[in-house]
Amino acid sequence: MAAKPAPELPASSGPRHVAIIMDGNGRWAKARFLPRIAGHRQGVEAVRRVSRAARTLGIEVLTLYAFSSENWRRPQAEVSDLMGLLRHFLASELDELVREGVRLRVIGAWRHLSPDLVAMIDAAIARTAANPGPTLVIALNYGAQAEILTAARRLAEQARDGLLDPADIDETRFESALETADLPPLDLLIRTSGEQRLSNFLLWQAAYAELLFVDTLWPDFDEKTLAAALAQFAQRQRRFGGL
């Protein structure tokens, strides 16, 4: 079976799809002798700034790692605070997303959240579904390994039922079973706070993405930081395994 050609991107092009691991809220708060929730509140403000900046800078898709499937291991009070902030973000930002023509997408096992939050997310997705502008993707209760396993099971079930020849499963077919199937390939993945790991985020999608690790804590991330990241991206030569 021939491998799928790697994606091509002209050297002069900016990234169409940028993803960010938003890290450092707790350290931001600790450095200021504040409770962790204060860092998370400032992190929400950073989400507002960066989502607006992404539109200004011409990014077609912005994917934000908001809550991982591993984050349930945090203290229950902190998890409750994070879910409350998510409710507040949806309630306060939805009108602007509609006004700006932004489509909202959510990936991950978010339907396992509380019923009222699921209803809010469903309503926000439906209200923005026809918007013609850029896409804001929120990874919520998301884990890349679980996403890959789910895709593999889905294809295995189709093969079991005679709907799919296993020999036809290639990179393109597998990608079609992922939650990001209809999005542009991931071009740039940024992690804030100086940590240098992917933390179970977009593992398949990051295969040919440029990785950028910045020391800025997420609550301090803004349009200038994002613009600087895009400038670094523009200086890189993306060979996709070629010369």
Strand 103-107 and strand 135-142: the pairing is parallel
Is the separation of the CB atoms in 221 and 50 below 8 Å?
yes
165 assigned to a ligand binding site: no
Helices 76-99 and 36-56 cross at an angle (nearest 10°) of 20
Is residue 170 part of the annotated active site? The answer reads: no
80 assigned to a ligand binding site: no
Q: How many CA atoms lie within 13 A of 65 on its CB side?
A: 26
26 assigned to a ligand binding site: yes
Q: Which residues contact 74 (CB under 8 A, 6 or more apart)?
A: none
What is the Cα–Cα distance from 122 to 69, expressed in whole angstroms?
20
32 assigned to a ligand binding site: no
Q: Residue 161 in 3-state DSSP?
A: coil
Is residue 71 part of the annotated active site? The answer reads: yes
28 assigned to a ligand binding site: yes
Q: Which of 71, 131, 200, 220 is catalytic?
A: 71
193 assigned to a ligand binding site: no
40 assigned to a ligand binding site: yes
Of 62, 66, 64, 65, which is closest to residue 16 (Cα–Cα)?
A: 62
72 assigned to a ligand binding site: yes
Is the separation of the CB atoms in 222 and 53 below 8 Å?
yes
Of 234, 233, 224, which is closest to residue 56 (Cα–Cα)?
A: 224
239 assigned to a ligand binding site: no
157 assigned to a ligand binding site: no
| Residue ranges of the binding site for Mg(2+) | 23, 210
Q: Could you list the active site residues?
A: 23, 71
Annotated binding site for substrate: 24-28, 36, 40, 68-70, 72, 74, 191, 197-199
Annotated binding site: 23-28, 36, 40, 68-70, 72, 74, 191, 197-199, 210
